[in-house]
Chains A and B, each alone.
Chain A
């Protein structure tokens, strides 16, 4: 008999807002988080892409100076989002040995790594700071959250590029089912509005080049989409067994009913054009949920706004849901917040949870002329989900052929 796992807290620092509710409100209002970057390095390094979606509230406004100095921005975002989620969950009095952390990043402490290397080259080995390694390691965010919340069951980090934080939530589901913890803070963070990933993703032609119009650059499913928009930030959820949540009288947003994780084994960066690996992940999540495809009422798509990826995901959804997929309200929220890489899945999972709570599929920005090859039910305005019980899935796919899907039921 599987346990019921519920979502009892959410937190985010994103291009749409400094908290989860602010991000949700901005998303529903159709705001974009993208803008022209003002940093000197954009021109100095002749970056071909001059815009991105930075966090709306900077960590400097949220953290102590000592925290800013001892944590990479990735961990700073993770800490901000996780503190909010923990507060939102009611600052539970829990057995700390039964509190776990599953926290992901796609890249890790990039700012720390590159600045330490600059220091090494320019000033020599004696000037490299002793905190460099603990700041740059990819598990640093999980460690920071674990230290901050005194979470001692475990602090895990899975790394699967842009699928990372959806996989973290799927892993948390499994670990709660397995009884390794009663309550888990799960999520992901990325601090990637940095010249190196901007240059590198641009080099592979993955980024939109709409430098003259950042707010309209991320346009999932639009015929004129030309790549994704770099985002950054973090999102965290507090997950616990229903028994644990009920015992402490927690408010419950939604039920996490399953997760599916698969690999394409097709190409290092290109999605399988038939989306078969992605389809298997959706099916696996639904199987864990004990749900039939016909029960799904909302999809938060990965849909990054790349010409190839959006079509491949559609084929995966078509394979699982058949023609009914054209009736399911789909949201591609990256149109508003860009692509947070390892943090994106957790942010979109929160939006899926809030969609169930408010019975609203959020808008997909910049959809002016829908690609006829992707006839999904998407809209630039919110779509009502109705009062009946809802089942939502949130998809994430990453370079390396990683596919991760999580499923939530309304309560």
Chain B
């Protein structure tokens, strides 16, 4: 069963927190991965690999560059799940 957007957001926040120490409550849909959360490219790829496993989706490499904000990632993962 597909997760709600809030559940995907919470899951992403947990992945990001584990890898970077960024507080989960800072991971909001309007935040930019690079500008707001200071997530570098290797960390972004780590988040992608972990998110694929956690949510049972595939996020193609060419799609990753379009995921500018946390909201972009939540939308993509939610769409890919359904």
Contact = CB atoms under 8 A, between A and B. Distances in A.
B25 interface: no
B21 A130 contact: no
B49 A70 contact: no
Interface residues of A, number: 14
Contacts of A131: 42, 46
Contact of B45 (A64, A130, A134): A130
A65 B46 contact: no
B49 A129 contact: yes
B42 A66 contact: no
Contacts of B21: 64-67
Interface string B31-62: 00000000000100110011011000010000
Contacts of A126: 49, 52, 58
Interface in A189-223: none
A69 interface: yes
A338 B58 CA distance: 46
Interface stretch (B1-9, B12-20, B65-73, B74-82): B12-20
A129 B46 contact: yes
A246 interface: no
A270 B50 CA distance: 45
A66 B23 CA distance: 11
A66 B20 contact: yes
Nearest to B41: A130
Interface string A113-126: 00000000001001
B35 to A, nearest CB: 20
A127 interface: yes
Contacts of B18: 65-66, 69
A302 B54 CA distance: 48
Nearest to A65: B18
A69 B19 contact: yes
Contacts of B49: 126-130
Interface string A123-155: 100111111001000000000000000000000
The DSSP consensus for interface residues of chain B is: helix
Chain A, interface SS category:
helix
A66 B45 contact: no
A38 B57 CA distance: 36
Contacts of B50: 129
B59 to A, nearest CB: 10
A129 B50 CA distance: 8
B39 to A, nearest CB: 12
B53 A127 contact: yes
A129 B52 CA distance: 12
Nearest to B22: A66
B32 to A, nearest CB: 20
B17 A65 contact: yes
A131 B19 CA distance: 10
A130 B17 contact: no
Contacts of A127: 49, 52-53
A183 B27 CA distance: 40
Nearest to B48: A130
A126 B57 CA distance: 12
A70 B52 contact: no
A148 to B, nearest CB: 14
A62 to B, nearest CB: 15
B80 to A, nearest CB: 14
A66 B53 CA distance: 19
Interface string A60-92: 000011110110000000000000000000000
B53 to A, nearest CB: 6
Contacts of A130: 42, 45-46, 49
A67 B19 CA distance: 8
What 7 pairs across the A-B complex have the smallest Cβ distances?
Answer: A66-B21, A130-B45, A130-B42, A130-B46, A66-B20, A69-B19, A64-B21
Given A64-B21, A70-B19, A129-B49, 10 more contacts: A65-B17, A65-B21, A66-B17, A66-B18, A123-B53, A126-B49, A127-B49, A129-B50, A130-B49, A131-B42
30 contacts: A64-B21, A65-B17, A65-B18, A65-B21, A66-B17, A66-B18, A66-B19, A66-B20, A66-B21, A67-B21, A69-B18, A69-B19, A70-B19, A123-B53, A126-B49, A126-B52, A126-B58, A127-B49, A127-B52, A127-B53, A128-B49, A129-B46, A129-B49, A129-B50, A130-B45, A130-B46, A130-B49, A131-B42, A131-B46, A134-B42
